[in-house]
Structure 1
């Protein structure tokens, strides 16, 4: 079963993401802070990680870099999740290793489209 970790301090966002992803066949974990997410990934790296742009304890761009450095041979598929379309921030996230981005509030189809990119990447490799 494919695994996903949602790192977001909003309980509502985590709940919505969990429902959508569980229905799509993912095993979903949750982290409220960047430190918690990093600790989880240090133990067992999920295939996909959704990282909120505004975490209470961490700079999301730095967190993306740290998550990618945990397993440089097989980095996770990271999606940067933000509530504003700030191109400069999204580009910084992508330079740090994010493979995609989503805008909040997100809907089922938006999440599934983003995860379809992951499936296409896996099939191509």
Structure 2
């Protein structure tokens, strides 16, 4: 069974993302910030991480740097999910190890497309 970690300081975003990922048969856990997410990854590395940029305690970029430097930290597919949509932010996230990038707000179609791109789900038929 595939596992996902949703990292966002917004409870609503975590709830929406959880529902969408569970529809794709992911077992989902949540974290409110990068530090909680790092602890969760040390306990059990997920298959994918949906990651917000702006969070208290540890932001998404700091988390991504720490994750990728950790044992097993290159394994999860990381999809940044944020309102930061300029090319500099996207380039920075991808250069630090993010696999994909989506803008908020997002829907099931957008998320599923990115999950297909990173190889976590098969192409969905209409």
Counterpart of 1:71 in structure 2 is 71
CA RMSD of aligned residues (A): 1.7
Task: Return the TM-score normalized by structure 1.
Answer: 0.90
Higher mean C-alpha displacement, 48-57 vs 59-68 = 59-68
Task: Return the TM-score normalized by structure 2.
Answer: 0.89
Instruction: Report the 3-state secondary structure (helix = DSSP H, G, I; strand = E; otherwise coil) of the residue aligned with 2:118.
Output: helix
Cα deviation for residue 61 of structure 1 reads 1.3
Counterpart of 1:46 in structure 2 is 46
Counterpart of 2:19 in structure 1 is 19
Question: What are the ranges of 5 or more consecutive residues in structure 2 without an aligned counterpart?
Answer: 122-126
Cα deviation for residue 47 of structure 1 reads 0.8
Counterpart of 1:114 in structure 2 is 114
Q: Which segments of structure 1 move beyond 4 Å, counting only runs of 4 or more?
A: none
Counterpart of 1:36 in structure 2 is 36
Instruction: Report the 3-state secondary structure (helix = DSSP H, G, I; strand = E; otherwise coil) of the residue aligned with 2:45.
Output: coil
In the alignment, is the contact (CA less than 8 A) between 2:33 and 2:59 conserved in 1?
A: no
In the alignment, is the contact (CA less than 8 A) between 2:35 and 2:58 conserved in 1?
A: yes
| Equivalent residues, number | 121
Q: Which has the higher helix share?
A: 1
In the alignment, is the contact (CA less than 8 A) between 2:67 and 2:73 conserved in 1?
A: no
Cα deviation for residue 59 of structure 1 reads 3.0
Question: What are the ranges of 5 or more consecutive residues in structure 1 without an aligned counterpart?
Answer: none
Counterpart of 2:94 in structure 1 is 94
Q: CA 1:12–1:73 in 2, change beyond 3 Å: closer, same or farther?
A: closer
What CA distance in whole angstroms lies between the structure 2 residues aligned with 1:103 and 1:91? Answer: 14
Instruction: Report the 3-state secondary structure (helix = DSSP H, G, I; strand = E; otherwise coil) of the residue aligned with 1:119.
Output: coil
Q: CA 1:19–1:96 in 2, change beyond 3 Å: closer, same or farther?
A: same
Cα deviation for residue 84 of structure 1 reads 3.3
